[in-house]
Structure 1
Amino acid sequence: MKRAPTTFSLVLALVALALLLALTLAGLLSTRGGLKAAGETYGRLVVSTALAADELATRSDTASMRTLGALKQTGVAFSTAAPPPPTVRVASVIREIGRTAGDLLGDPSRVVVTQSLQSSQIWVRSEHDPRRWIVLHAVSYRQQLIDSTLVVTLLAGLIALAIAGVAARLLTRPLERLSAHATALLAGDPMIQQLHGSPREVRQLAQAIGAAGARLRDVARERELMLAGISHDLRTPLARLRLALELGDADDPQRREAMVGDLQELDSALEQCLAFVRDGRDEALREVDIITLVGQLLALREQPDAWQLDGPALLPARVRPTLLRRAIGNLMDNAERHGAAPFKVSLGCDGDALFVRVTDHGSGVPPTLLDRLGQPFLRGDQARSSSGSGLGLSIVMRAAELHGGTLELGNGSYGGLVATIRIPVAPTII
């Protein structure tokens, strides 16, 4: 399999490319500006020299001849032949000087630039004698320019690579530290010191990894609790069934009924465990009438007359119907199992949230245990003498959270437990 590039190499390449592009662009802009400046400066010198030589050539006095001789020694010459065509490509700076000189003279046709391997020349036609040309030799810096460009490019490339290496190291070092301590983050170890000075995005990624690790640990603990709780809850009815089968109690109608009750208890415990594992997160949202949903649940109770429904005629909401039905059903089961009649279900809207409240008239829950209710396999009766898996309130709490709401538990002023599911009218679904 092809090896993927490292983050360091990618960042290094990107930063180096960006720096090289910036340097290239800066070089082009500076070259263009320098070319224009050189053309303006040397073009004026060419015009001044050509005009002076042309004027001196018309005079015969000693001073003029001496000055003209000095100009010839600097490379200024006169020719009656036509300018030769260039044998090599004319340098940009020579063309720019010739263009500027032509513009300054007011007649671009009077200036001709030509270049050979040996030298560059600027020919200016005389104003006094159109057959005469003033020839100025221009020094060619082509090779020097090429050499200096190569040197500058090489130095710029080395500087760019050095800067890119430092920048890439600064950018990737926090990621390397995060990668090295990812296992510790998932395990829940604090990483404040190790990530000190890291960019905000890296710290956010570390927080996300830590949160994911916390969720994984919670799931693992829930599974361990579920396995431990279900093994405990199944052991007693299984032992009774085994003893009844060994004693031949299947022929006794009363004992057979007890065996059926044990089987129903096993089935209920397994159903609650499955409901806890399948949290209903994948169920689609639907618009339903909560009053109708609760009415259907009340009709299925063994003693529906022990229940009272208090609410408006219609209470529509967008919820996960199966999940909410199971949650409200668990609250009803919990009230009947641990509380006492009469029972009541109250529904309505309270501000920006709707509520479903289930109350009973039992003995309630000890205050020291009230804050812990909702933990998996935790029961209000510490002796675990009553039936039930201890997952009912956990399922209710999870259902409320998946609807963006909460489960509130408390003891009523008249005795008994008051369990309230609150769901936002426009819920934030998890």
Structure 2
Amino acid sequence: MLAAFAAGALLMSVILALGTYLSARHYLIEQRERTALQQAYTDAALVKDGLRTSGASVVDVLDAVALPNRTIAYVRTGGEWYSSGLAEEGHAATQHVAGVVADGSAGLSWTRATDPPAIVVGMPLAAVDAEYYEVTVADELDGTLHTLRTALIVSALVTTLAGALLGWYAARAVLRPLNQVTIAAARISGGDLATRLDPIDDPDLATLVGSFNNMVDTVTERIDRDARFAADVAHELRTPLATLITALGVLEGTPGLSGSSALAVQLMGTELERFRQALEDLIALGRLDSGVRESEWETVPVTELVRLALADNRTATTADPAEVETTDVVTTEPEATGLRVRVDRLQTRRALSNLIRNADTHGGGLTGIRIAARGRFIDIHVEDAGPGVPPGERERIFERFARIGARGATGGSGLGLSIVERTVAVHGGSVWCRESATGGADFVFSLPASGGQP
């Protein structure tokens, strides 16, 4: 649009400038030729009268004529040229009209023998057997046309610039609603479902704005309805699940169960625990999707988060998290020592626990946790001893209910890594999987640093 407006303005200004210049030039030249012709007739009459006087010389006659500024008169008589000034011989400038004058007619022409060009007027003086020529340098006309050309060129450039500015303004005006829609869509995709477009007076765009806002309202309502449905289902399932677990515990303590009955009770216990874990994961995902906080955000050391996550996965042998020894598992690079993150402690602790549990359950066991600083982010590397994750599956494993190869063989809800992905997204970070130095999987849990960073 900017180029179109500029090109249109340039084309219009060039056409108008050329039309104006050619019209003005034609008029000025015509006026100048008429003036030169009238002056030449007057001066020729004076020269003819002077040459009729007996004993008068041509030079004296020419000196007696009051010629205009930058005008030289020439007389040709008896094959000789006479000039009113110290100029070159007249035939160099008068050759274009000399033939017409020799035929007995008055002639007018332009010549470039001078700088700037000059008007040459010639006429026969039959009464004295002579030819009279006047050569008038058109310096004033040349200066006027030069000034006119300069003014028109400047006007064309200014008009083109004005057209470009108008195109820029028009493009911004046209694209402003689209930019607003783009920004609003980006905010909504980032989780800010309260974003709406402001009403607009343009009737052509009012429908778009209204449709967009209605669409967002519909999506928000659908998400809220789904979240309420999931919460209601989870709440309703918790009570019978607790009853089943309690009843199963009583059944497990019943003496005298046969071998097949004991095996069935054991299988039910395993499946109920798996069901309980999946239900808790679904509830956690619902809270993350709806933006519900589980605790107030606070600034905590990264090493403390890692220690608590390790404690969650060592409760079978250690009752107090403070007693968990991390020096044999956790490595902190020097530049990351003392760094902190601002997080929801419960959510990030659960996400890290899921990564550690994933390494223990599906990755052949946890081999190490490494904390490293990367720009304004802190990366927590959770490495395992498994076969690693194929490159083509390293993004899909964070999808809900995704299981790949042997890593899904031991069961699980398939929601643990999805919870990790949603947690880091809520906290402005990211998570990805790559191959570790030992060939296993290296899950990188990255969060923005908060304080303590150089």
TM-score, scaled relative to structure 1 = 0.42
Larger radius of gyration: 2
TM-score, scaled relative to structure 2 = 0.40
